[in-house]
Chain A
Amino acid sequence: MHRRTALQLLAAFPALAGLSQKALAAQWDAVLAEAGGQTVYWHAWGGDPKINDFITWVGQKASERYGVTLEHVKLASTADAVARVLAEQAAGQTEGGAVDLIWINGENFAAMKSQGLLFGPFAEDLPNWPLVDVAGKPATVTDFTLPTEGYESPWAMAQLVFEYDTERLKNPPQDIDSILEWSTANPGRLTYPQPPDYLGTTFLKQVLYGVMDDPAVLQSPVDDATYADLTAPLWAYLDRLHPTLWRGAQAFPQNEPALGQLLADGEIDISFAFNPGRASAEIAAGNLPDTVRTFVLTGGTIGNASFVAIPFNAAHRAGAMVIADLLLDPEVQARAQDPAILGFQTVLDLQALAPEDRARFDALELGVATLSPAELGPVLLEPHASWMTRIAQDWTARYGVAQ
């Protein structure tokens, strides 16, 4: 009986946004009761052992605190999980889906939201939601210009930073134009992950910010009429850059860890990551020499938030919500920010935390290669998701089929 009631409550959950705190608390108790004993399948990119270990640790917390078992389904690409849910929808499977929780943002979120593949809204009803720094970090509620509307819950902040080894490179280039000059003078020492890889496409967008006259248009969807003219400087830039790249742009690393490995192996001199703490974490893990430092470009670099979302047909919604809430827990957020663990920036408003929770963050060392929030400089907003899709496609047509 109890189980059935909880299920009914759960079904009504998205509609309860207007409820009082007390009612919400009762609501959450029902979710917790329903979640106990569930196994949540979290589909998350599995290419980085540090992140995998972190997710394992979150799983231990979930099992200790709530009796929820967390299974990390390691994906090669987030699109795998999207494809999965899409296939289930096509097969008419509206209940008991295989995916309970997805690490998601950007185009995948936009695609799933527009096709009705997401459960929600749920994020703003999570007990830890009030701790999120919505005002200071607008990217926690705006995903690639698309309002999240509670259909995904943030868990980490990311910003593009460049990495270099001070032993080999004294004065790294400071903007997109000087990167081209530097690469021309030092051929074979720079590359980027092959689009449609996420980080590779982000590099293209960063170039776009650097070569466009008016980057503000990036906040609107791609307009076919102006697209060719607006992106012409990007392709011109790449046409000049590619002959100077690692392997003469005849091959590209496939993702962020592969790019980082090239820096570690001394095959390239400048690398970049979407995690300002990555370099410090890799130094701590012994994978990068401790002479590696990070820098950002004058004028700022692209930043965004990582989210979790729940598919419409997830078999274990309650458990998935419990995990989404747990990810916002100050203890979990502080662990993620620890450069020895992940070095991800928190989504929480430190001022809103209880003193003992704020102390967890104060106790963290920045890490030898991590820039302070002030040094990280301005955060450029992610362009509308259609830009990412479109330039990744065009990139493949231009450079991905080796004419």
Chain B
Amino acid sequence: MTLLRLAPPLTLGLMAVPVAAGLAGTALPAFGNGGAGFARLLDWPGLPRAAALSIGTGLAATVLSLALTVLILAAFAGTPAFARIRRLIAPLLSVPHAAAALGLAFLIAPSGWIARALSPEVTGWETPPDLLILNDPFGLSLTLGLVAKEVPFLLLMALAALPQVDADRRLTIAATLGYGRIAGFVLTVLPALYRQFRLPTYAVLAYGMTTVDMALILGPTLPPTLSAQITLWMSEGGLARRDMAAAAAILQLGLALCALTLWHCVEIVARHLIRATAFHAPRLPQLDRPATLAAHLGSLAVAGSLILGLAALSLWSVAGPWQFPDALPESLTLRTWDSAAPALAATAGTTLGIALAATATAIALTLACLQAETAEHLVPTSRALTLLYLPLIVPQIAFLPGLQTLALRLGLDGTALAVATIHLTFVLPYVFLSLAGPFRAWDGRIATTAATLGASEGRIFWRLRLPMLAGPVLTAFAVGIAVSIGQYLPTLLIGGGRVETLTTEAVALSSGGNRRLIGAYAVLQLLLPAFAFALATAIPAVLWRNRQQMRGLH
């Protein structure tokens, strides 16, 4: 059992060390050379706008995502509609950011599916209109893409937290006192819920401000967001450029910290506001009908944009000739898949291999941590929980460039193993968050009974706890696979261009505009995690086909 004791520090180390080492590796060239990097950065005329875009899109996406999530929770919690939403969350969450962005681009571009469906009958367009929708200078389509991708994430986090705050009873009491659904939720559930929700919200904010793959696909280009520009500088070559990129990465980190601080201040104000007004707030039942309508529309827009976007990607991958303004291709063909099959198979193999290695390790470490918690009666501190979120909150663009330089010096970059290791840093938090709840919620009386029958801790774990938790473990596995497959920047930078995954290929192709091939890569990007989630559902069903009570446990 002493080995188990090592699991929590080892796990935290695997998350904290790469972040710390990477930040140091970025800071060194940024501040070195007499701050030449910063001087050059300040000379770049695009800086104010790129920085403003980063802050603006990040904050807007976070506010909108959070508002929509709260609206959906308030309007639907406990209703049959919520069960439908619940079933959609995992598959939507497993959609990699790049694929979601590409799907959205295929949908909303002037030559996209929506314009094709409405033309020429409704719009009168015979050729695609000259409208600036994608890559718009204010980052609106980027914000939209971020919202579509973050709402499912926040909802998943909320699903885990809702039972812990006893939401149903709070809502019932509020309702008996005559409060509307929305007012009741905001006044009684939200304050308790938000405490569990804070770190995920921070992660959403940090991600929104610093995403690279989504910004390259949907974001503005004149100039791009700061993170996208840093990536361009990193790949442009030249030591001067790298110093400048490092300086910009440090600036990006500072901006993210400022935004997080600002967010925290707003939290404090909001808390006081709710507290001060809670006792004499209007009960607002009249708000329920419009709010429910808005929640319906919002969830429909999020799910619709993701699902239709993915449908557009799939259709393009099998499309024959498809001229504007036809709503559908003239014919369907497997030519794209046929000709790309060898490349697709090889890339999918690499992607899956890396995902499996990172996820299997993450599952083992997470189980070891949780078991250590039980066996050694360790209590997880809130600091440990913050460390867990570290790789999700510290912007990737701030520490990965430094880590790349470090890996290069150590001769560790450019291998699938190095990529799998850095993926582990990002997979671990999600696997842990996904597994910790069910693991801790397992009925300890079963263990007590087994112990009185003479079973050892190890035997209880292997013969009772793990088999009974097979469902959650498999779900965590699928989450891990999905997270790994979606990683763009870590794969690009640590892989040194030599490790190609479906995501790096799809983003590289996205600038070229070959929709059929992009579609094929994006579809595979979707299918692999979807397959993992399907297995996570199917395996327990087969395992427990003779045990009715177990089937509800995953």
Contact = CB atoms under 8 A, between A and B. Distances in A.
A79 to B, nearest CB: 4
Contact of A254 (B137, B405, B500, B511): B511
Contacts of B239: 86, 90
B222 A399 contact: yes
A12 interface: no
A52 interface: yes
A251 B343 contact: no
A68 B135 CA distance: 43
Interface in A185-235: 187-188, 194, 196
A240 interface: no
B350 interface: no
A91 B517 CA distance: 37
Contacts of A188: 130
Interface stretch (A242-250, A347-355, A359-367): A242-250
Contact of A91 (B130, B340, B409): B409
A257 interface: yes
Interface in A246-266: 246-248, 250-255, 257-258, 260-262, 265-266
Contacts of A378: none
Interface stretch (B229-237, B288-296, B299-307, B444-452): B229-237
Interface stretch (A70-78, A130-138, A151-159, A272-280): A70-78
Contact of A401 (B132, B222, B238, B508): B222
A87 B137 contact: no
B408 interface: yes
A257 B498 contact: no
Contact of A246 (B50, B130, B137, B517): B130
B132 A251 contact: yes
A255 B512 contact: yes
Contact of B237 (A74, A79, A286): A79
Contacts of A43: 497
A18 interface: no
B512 A258 contact: yes
Interface string B404-437: 0100110100100000000000000000000000
A49 interface: yes
B34 interface: no
Contacts of A251: 132, 134-137, 220-222
A47 B235 contact: no
A75 B511 CA distance: 12
B402 interface: no
Nearest to B499: A73
A150 B132 CA distance: 47
B285 interface: no
Interface residues on B, range: 35 or more
Given A87-B405, A265-B128, A401-B45, A80 B235 contact: yes
B438 to A, nearest CB: 41
B505 interface: yes
A275 B393 CA distance: 46
A401 B223 contact: yes
Contacts of B134: 251
Given A86-B238, A246-B130, A73 B497 contact: yes
Contact of B498 (A47, A49, A53, A98): A98
Contacts of A74: 497, 500, 505, 508
A47 B132 contact: no
Contacts of B123: none
Given A253-B513, A267-B128, A83 B137 contact: no
A111 B237 CA distance: 10
Interface in A93-148: 93, 98, 108, 111
Contact of B242 (A56, A83, A266): A83
B514 interface: yes
B152 interface: no
Nearest to B410: A91
A236 interface: no
B496 A266 contact: no
Contacts of A266: 111, 127-128, 323-324
Contacts of A86: 237-239
A257 B512 contact: yes
A390 interface: no
B497 A84 contact: yes
Nearest to A259: B513
A252 B323 CA distance: 22
Interface centre among A74, A253, A396 (most CB of B within 10 A): A74
Contacts of A48: 512
A188 B234 CA distance: 33
B128 A75 contact: no
Contacts of B283: none
A71 B49 CA distance: 40
Contacts of B238: 83, 86, 111
Interface residues of A, number: 59
A93 B220 CA distance: 37
B333 to A, nearest CB: 9
B222 A247 contact: no
A75 B236 CA distance: 11
Nearest to B241: A83
A77 B509 CA distance: 12
Interface string A158-185: 0000000000000000000000000000
Nearest to A89: B239
A258 B235 contact: no
A88 interface: yes
Contact of B408 (A47, A87, A255): A87
A74 to B, nearest CB: 6
Given A49-B514, A83-B237, A257-B512, A397 B49 contact: no
A387 interface: no
B191 interface: no
Nearest to A92: B409
A47 B508 contact: yes
Contact of B221 (A47, A246, A248, A254): A254
B163 interface: no
Query: Residue among B128, B222, B234, B342 with the most chain A CB within 10 A?
Result: B222
A402 interface: yes
Contacts of B44: 401
A76 B111 contact: no
Interface in B503-532: 505, 508-509, 511-515, 517
Contacts of A88: 408
Interface string A15-55: 00000000000000000000000000101001111001100
A109 to B, nearest CB: 12
Contacts of B509: 47
B339 interface: yes
Given A53-B339, A261-B513, A400 B222 contact: yes
Nearest to B223: A401
Contacts of A400: 46, 222-223
Contacts of B513: 253, 257-258, 260-262
A98 B412 CA distance: 12
Contacts of A91: 405, 408-409
Contacts of B517: 49
A397 B45 contact: yes
Given A47-B508, A401-B45, A402-B49, A84 B132 contact: no
A292 interface: no
Interface in B186-214: none
8 contacts: A83-B235, A83-B238, A98-B498, A111-B238, A254-B512, A265-B111, A266-B127, A267-B127
Q: Which 8 A-B pairs give the minimum distances between C-beta atoms?
A: A261-B513, A401-B46, A83-B237, A257-B512, A188-B130, A254-B511, A79-B237, A47-B512
Interface of A: 41, 43, 46-49, 52-53, 56, 71, 73-77, 79-84, 86-88, 90-91, 93, 98, 108, 111, 187-188, 194, 196, 246-248, 250-255, 257-258, 260-262, 265-267, 286-287, 396-397, 399-402
Given A47-B508, A397-B45, A402-B49, 7 more contacts: A41-B498, A47-B511, A71-B498, A74-B497, A401-B46, A402-B137, A402-B220
